[in-house]
């Protein structure tokens, strides 16, 4: 089955270090649903924009890499039989009802770290 990355765009991340269960409830419930459906392979929530640091060839700055209204608040990888099914799964993300958006992209390759570890133990 094909894998797709779902990037979550929002005004900021709900996953601040001091976030409560109520702050992340819709995200957690959505993740639980995708796990129960055997769709989600992995997920990462990112911290708020004010915790980001950006590097360029000649500088390091505070904040997200791109200065825009929305940031990447997190991402997850799903398995789906095709792009239409991946879009349907991503379309259930609660950020869509909260004014944000998602981007769905096929995963080209992966498992690099896992393969390197397997070679080391062989």
- With contact defined as beta carbons under 8 Å apart, do 79 and 39 qualify? yes
- With contact defined as beta carbons under 8 Å apart, do 63 and 54 qualify? yes
Q: How many CA atoms lie within 13 A of 36 on its CB side?
A: 6
pTM of the model: 0.85
- With contact defined as beta carbons under 8 Å apart, do 8 and 91 qualify? no
Is the pLDDT score of 26 beyond 70?
Answer: yes
pLDDT above 70 as % of the chain: 92
61-84 residues labelled b (16+ CB within 10 A) or e (exposed): eeebeeeeebbbbbbbbbbbeeee
User: What is the pLDDT confidence band of residue 11, given thresholds at 50, 70 and 90?
Assistant: very high
């Amino acid at each position: 089955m094909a894998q797709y990355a779902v990037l979550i765009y929002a005004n900021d991340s709900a996953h601040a270090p001091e976030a409560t269960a109520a702050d992340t409830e819709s995200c957690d419930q959505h993740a639980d649903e995708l796990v129960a459906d055997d769709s989600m392979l992995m997920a990462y929530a990112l911290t708020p924009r004010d915790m980001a640091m950006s590097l360029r060839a000649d500088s390091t700055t505070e904040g997200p890499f791109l200065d825009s209204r929305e940031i990447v608040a997190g991402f997850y990888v799903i398995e789906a039989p095709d792009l239409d099914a991946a879009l349907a799964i991503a379309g259930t993300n609660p950020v869509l009802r909260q004014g944000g958006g998602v981007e769905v992209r096929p995963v080209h390759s992966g498992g690099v770290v896992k393969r390197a570890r397997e070679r080391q133990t062989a």
